[in-house]
Each structure stands twice: as structure tokens, then as C-alpha cells.
Amino acid sequence: MEIIVLIVFAYLLGSIPSGYIWGKFSGVDVRHVGSGNVGATNVARAVGKWQGILTLLADTAKGLIPAAIGLWLTLAPAAVAALAAAAFLGHLYPVFLNFRGGKGVATALGALLVIAPLAGLLLVAIFAAVVFPTRLVSLSSIAAAAFAPFALWLFLAPRAIVLLGAFFAAMIVWRHRGNIQRLRAGTEPRFGARSNTD
């Protein structure tokens, strides 16, 4: 019963639409500007840099908090993975926004930084290594996500956590399918430029 309550809590926490809330504080509905995505990148482009940073921090916390609770309660790796996955799915499919959410990168990272800190930091390094020369947030996110299960395996994470990384990777790549099409076409916008796509 305890794990069910925690999973529901994690999903509802993940469902809190951070980017939408920060946009509303500025009088902007981010669902109707830019890419329409409620993630940090679109918020930064459509509303402002600081709102984007606040969205990034809040979305990261949505994954970090349930994972930290699971570890604090010394739950089994599979249970901790379930909490992280619930928060992640809450962000992707938030009940508060008719199940239309973000792409999950920050929320997944928040969970992994708690569950497997060294692997999480390696993924941050991969993201940075791609984003600084290219300024392509989508490509950087895809690269880091795709490497997640390998990073977890490299640092000897339990099997359930490696599978969690594979789940994160598959879902994040899937959520970026539109970006992948634009990357192939050479039309994907670079960070720092305002655009109608994200």
C-alpha cells in the first residue's frame, strides 16, 4: 500500500506544470507560443531566460524528490525506479494539463542525479559537450538520453535502474521525434534564437 501511495504522489508531483505556471506569472500561456511545449527551452525562448532557469530547476526537482524519498525509505531498486518513472510520466502526461506535457529530460536527470550521481554527472557532461559547440538543445538531450542506460551500466547500477535509464532514453527520443525530423532537414533552431519550433 505504501508504494502505491508513493507512486501516486510521484505522478502528481511530476504533473505540476512548472513551465506553464512560470509563463502564467508573466502573462504568457506557453502552450500557445513557440513550440507549445511546457519545458524549459520553450519557456526561455517564449517568456525569458530566468523563467526558463526556474522551469529547469523545478522540473529537475520533480524527478529528484520522489527518488530521494525512495532512497531515504531504503526501498528496493525496483521500487525507487517505479517512483522515478511515475514522476517522469507525470511530467510527460500531466493530469493538470490534459496529459500534454514536456519531454522529460530535466525530470529524468533529477531522478538519476539522486539514484546514480556519477552516471548523472556523466550525462550532464555529455549534454554540455554537445550543446556548447552546437547550441542544439534537442540534439544534446537526445545524445545524453541515449547514453543513459550505458552510463548506469558503466557505474554498476542495479538492473532495475539500468532498465529505468533505457525507459527514459526510449521515451525522450520518442518525444523528440519532431526535433529529429528538423535536425535531419537542417531546420532545427539553435538555442538563443527565437523560433516557432523547439
| Full 3-state SS string of 70-95 | HHHCCCCHHHHHHHHHHHHHHHHCCH
Q: Measure the CA–CA gap between 97 and 91, rounded to whole angstroms.
A: 10
Cβ-contact 33, 27 below 8 angstroms: no
pLDDT value for 193: 58
Domain presence at residue 194: no
Predicted confidence band of residue 42 (pLDDT cuts 50, 70, 90): confident
pLDDT single digits (tens) 48-77: 888 999 999 999 999 999 999 999 999 999
Nearest to 138, CA basis, from 187, 85, 86, 87: 187
Domain presence at residue 96: yes
pLDDT value for 153: 98
The model's pTM is 0.91
Q: Measure the CA–CA gap between 56 and 134, rounded to whole angstroms.
A: 20
Domain presence at residue 195: no
pLDDT surpasses 80 at 35: no
pLDDT surpasses 50 at 81: yes
Domain presence at residue 88: yes
Amino acid at 94: P
Range of the domain at 95: 2-185
Q: How many domains does the chain fold into?
A: 1
Domain presence at residue 26: yes
Share of residues in the chain with pLDDT > 70 (%): 96
pLDDT single digits (tens) 9-33: 999 999 999 999 988 888 888 888 8
